Amino acid sequence: MYLLGIDIGTTNWKVALYDEDGRVISAFSSPTRVHSEGGGRVIYKPDEIWATVTGGIRQVISQARNPRDVKAIGVASMGEAGVLIDKKGQCLYPAMAWYDPRTTPQLEWWEKTFGRYEIYEITGLPPQHIASINKIMWLRDNEPEIYARAHRWLCLADFVAYKLSGECAMDYSLASRTMVFDIRRREWSKKMLEHAGIGVDLLPPLRLSGTPLGHITRQAQEETGLSPDTIVVVGGYDHLCGALAGNAFTNGSILDSGGTSEVVLSVVDSGSVNTTGALCDAQFAFGSHVVKDTYYIAGVLPASGGVVEWLKDQLAHEELELSKETGVNIYQIMADEAASSPPGARGVFMLPHLKGRVSPYCGEKSRAAFVGLSFYHSRSDLFRAALEGLCYELRLNLDAMKELASIRYPRKMQAIGGAVRNRFWMQMKADMTGTIIEVPDVEEATTLGAALLAGIGAGVYRDETDAVQRTYRRKETFYPDLDMTEKYELYFQRVYKRLASSLDGVNAEIIDIFAH
């Protein structure tokens, strides 16, 4: 018996086939196909998403003994991005990328007419232009003829599940990213929707993750090669599906999900969280997990692995070419060079805000900086300072969660995502936070989490606990070096905590001058 997990992610679109013990049978990955429209506007084409998914399914099930043994499918995706479909199920407009900036005027309207703290109190989301409701309103205001034909708004996981099953639904974790979901009542907020002038019927029915939607349609059978007996199950938000597979779903669990961006997520009891202005100002999202009756608080580092990519492109040209010729991993080369610099990078600090800061304490005008440079510093110091800066940002988020949401400082964190391949970075995170870092033995936690939800919906597993107990395996554990922790505490308290605020005024002036 097999389970399929699909992930419509920011960096890649993936399909993976698992057995019921969580072992991967076959996997497919394709770079996310983005189309720039200029001015920062970026779209995904729904037909390309569907073609990639169907091609991926055909490829991975070719490794199965019998496609009829694929019991169920679950789909995960990035949050916020979505499509409008008409009554015939046809997509009416491309999907705006979750980070597309065109919806900034809609955010400004919300803040002027409704108030950011009331939005947070209802939805658990700090007001952001990326929220799904702002994309819907933009389409209404700028594409009225298209909007007039709209029947449903579907986030991208919902869209793929709809194409597979013919049924519209959205789980609570993706609904938590729309900014019109009442997080306490777990229903669409009539107050928010009425204020926006959007009918509740435009939004799909809400369902628990792991709920069966139905069997795959005849059309989808023909396009994927799957059996008519295959069950399609409600999935969820990619970070939360990854959290499930990574064993971060019980109260007090902490997950560090590191990729192009980084999410630090703490699983909480809803009753213990007071959605106050302080949490809103710190830009922490409070939302529903994919696990029943479970919530989380999450902070975001918008540029994490992206910082490493930028350094690679700017400072490691020769090594990059060498890695292509020899097959040596460029990231390992960079990590080894960073390790040759001592803790503290000989006095160089990097504020890694290449895409500003989200949490804690939003800094859209914050910019990256190297501070403390002198003639004797080398590239290895810059590499180390960048990784240390990202670890300091993780520490800031954990400290703010502890202060504002009464979350206990973790004894252990689970870590998933591409960043876990960098063992030097993982050890640095353990040293910086004084916390044990546990890495599960799974290559793609998000697709596995989606597959586990599929298994729950199909009755392969009794519940989330049963699914994780049967599939979770620990790969590696990083223990903090307490001497290093003490050193980093000094650097953190005396220098790093002051960096961002020290540069805020200068960065604002830079943006004011060069934005014109």
* Residue range 105-113: mean pLDDT, rounded: 95
Q: Give the predicted TM-score (pTM) of the model.
A: 0.92
Task: Assess whether pLDDT exceeds 90 at residue 356.
Answer: no
* Residue range 288-304: mean pLDDT, rounded: 93
Q: How many helices, marked H, and strands, marked E, lie in the chain?
A: 20, 24
What is the DSSP track for 316-378? -HHHHHHHHHH---HHHHHHHHHHTSPTTGGG-EEE--BTBB-SSS-BTT---EEES--TT--
Tell me the pLDDT tens digit for each residue of 41-97.
999 999 999 999 999 999 999 988 887 899 999 999 999 999 999 999 999 999 999
Task: Assess whether pLDDT exceeds 70 at residue 271.
Answer: no
CA–CA distance from 330 to each of 148, 327, 350, 377, 391 (Å)? 50, 9, 21, 21, 21
- At 330 the pLDDT is 86
Domains and their CATH numbers in the chain:
2-245 (3.30.420.40), 301-439+481-514 (3.30.420.40)
Tell me the pLDDT tens digit for each residue of 175-233.
999 999 999 999 999 999 999 999 999 999 999 999 999 999 999 999 999 999 999 99
User: Beta strand pairing status for 2-8 and 12-19?
Assistant: antiparallel
516 or 499, greater pLDDT? 499
Task: Assess whether pLDDT exceeds 90 at residue 375.
Answer: yes
User: Percentage of the chain surpassing pLDDT 90?
Assistant: 80
pLDDT band with cut points at 50, 70 and 90 for residue 508 = confident
103 — alpha (psi -120 to 50), left (phi > 0) or beta? alpha
Tell me the pLDDT tens digit for each residue of 475-504.
999 999 999 999 999 999 999 999 988 898
**Average of per-residue pLDDT values in the chain:** 93
- At 114 the pLDDT is 94
Tell me the pLDDT tens digit for each residue of 406-448.
788 888 999 998 899 999 999 999 999 999 999 999 989 999 9
- At 465 the pLDDT is 96
Contact 457, 252 (CB under 8 A): no
153 or 260, greater pLDDT? 153
* Residue range 283-290: mean pLDDT, rounded: 94
Contact 418, 259 (CB under 8 A): yes
pLDDT band with cut points at 50, 70 and 90 for residue 3 = very high
pLDDT band with cut points at 50, 70 and 90 for residue 26 = very high
* Residue range 165-177: mean pLDDT, rounded: 97
- At 340 the pLDDT is 97
pLDDT band with cut points at 50, 70 and 90 for residue 516 = low
pLDDT band with cut points at 50, 70 and 90 for residue 259 = confident
Length, in residues, of the chain = 516
pLDDT band with cut points at 50, 70 and 90 for residue 272 = low
